[in-house]
Structure formats: structure tokens, C-alpha cells
Amino acid sequence: MNTTPAELARHVDHTLLSPTATSADVAALAAEAVRLGTYSICVSPAMLPVDAPLGEVKLATVCGFPSGKHTPATKAFEAAESVSRGADEVDMVIDLGLVKAGRLDGTQAEIAAVRAAAPSPTILKVIIESAALTDEEIVAACQAAEAAGADFVKTSTGYHPAGGASVHAVELMAATVGGRLGVKASGGIRDWATAVAMIEAGATRLGLSGTAAVLAGGTSTGY
């Protein structure tokens, strides 16, 4: 893939979800995002609103994070509150147990509840923890997300012991949503080659915490 670091940056949600993050850390994240030209920053709901200048950089947050084991009503309230506090995008974690039990109606319902609480133009991304699912479950979760009105499906929180994004999962997710939804690859993407591989596999957004180091890898390889 022939892309530049500046072009890749426009696909990046520059992320800080550490439990120990401070307002100063978020301000530094915002400044770095503006300098690097990332698409957004992604921070925890408790860090909203963000007072640091963002320019054209969007503001994303998470919902039901990281376990997904929250009730639909709780997730919906959290999403609505985050939007009221300035979030442009919400990345929600599904209840993986519903998928594992084959209760995709429940999966669709919880996503729909968050969608109703955070309607368009808010961007809704659905985190399916692809590393913890079979291929069939990945497909089913993506189908539920699309049916519920989500804008993106997303591989991972980055906190699940099963792992983060994989090229295979991104390819499968992209094939399932067929360009109708975006695909966000997140979790364990720490270098230029991996980031580019995810884009080539069909990712339209990347969740990165070490964005500067990833983009520097592109510069060092001559892009």
C-alpha cells in the first residue's frame, strides 16, 4: 500500500483509555492529535468534556467499556451523557455472552438502544472483541450491528485476554459489512507495517495509542 504517514493519520482514532489518565494527559493527547493530523481522539467518558483545542479533530469515547457486561439501559444512558458532554463518536462494547449463546436478537437490541440514545450524526462503532469469537460469531455480530443501525464494527477493546485486531478478522468483518459500515481495527497495532496491513485488509479506521511511533515507522521506510 502506497500511503504516507499524513494520509494514514487521517484514519486514526488517537486513543487514551488508561484508568490513571488525567486532564493534563488528555490535553497532551489532543495537542499531539492536532500536530499529527489524526481523525479523532478517543478518551474515557469521565474525561469529557475536553477543554483542550481540537481544531478539526473529532472527539470519540467508549461505552460499556471494557467488559460489555452492562445492561442496555446503562449503555444507552452512558452514550447519551457522553454525547451531551461533547462526544462526536461512541465506541460501544457488546455483551459477548449474548453472541456466544446465539442470542443475536439481544445483541441487536442492545446496539439499537445505544443507537436510539445517540442518534445520527453521532457515529456509533460496535466493538465485537473478534479475537474471542469464532468466524461464524464474528459474522453474526457484524450482521446484528448493521441491522441495529451502527456506523462501524470494531475489532477489539485492547483489554481482552484473547487479543486484539488480526488481519483475518478485519478481512472477515469488511467482507460481511460490504462497505455499508466502516471497519475499525484496534488492539495491538504498534508499528507501521501492522497498521498498513489492517488498512489493506479493509479497515477504514484504526485505534492507536502509540500513534506517533507508528507514523514515524512510515517515515523511516521512505513513505
Contact status, residue 14 vs residue 32, Cβ threshold 8 Å? yes
Q: Which member of 13, 91, 95, 151 is catalytic?
A: 91
Asked if residues 133 and 99 have their Cβ atoms less than 8 Å apart, the reply is: yes
Alpha-carbon span 21 to 207, nearest angstrom? 17
Is residue 14 a contact partner of residue 36, using CB atoms and an 8 Å limit? Answer: yes
Which residues, 6 or more positions from 198, have their beta carbon under 8 angstroms from its beta carbon?
165, 167, 170, 185, 189, 206
Query: Of these residues, 75, 95, 125, 154, which one is catalytic?
Result: 154
**Is 75 one of the annotated active-site residues of the chain?**
no
Query: Of 13, 125, 151, 184, which one is the catalytic site residue?
Result: 184
Q: Quick one: cell of 2?
A: 502506497
25 carries an active-site annotation: no
End-to-end alpha-carbon separation of the chain, Å? 10
The verdict on whether 100 is a catalytic residue reads: no
Is residue 82 within 8 A of residue 61, CB to CB? The reply is yes
Distance in angstroms (rounded) separating the CA atoms of residues 142 and 184: 12
Q: Which residues does the annotation mark as catalytic? A: 91, 154, 184
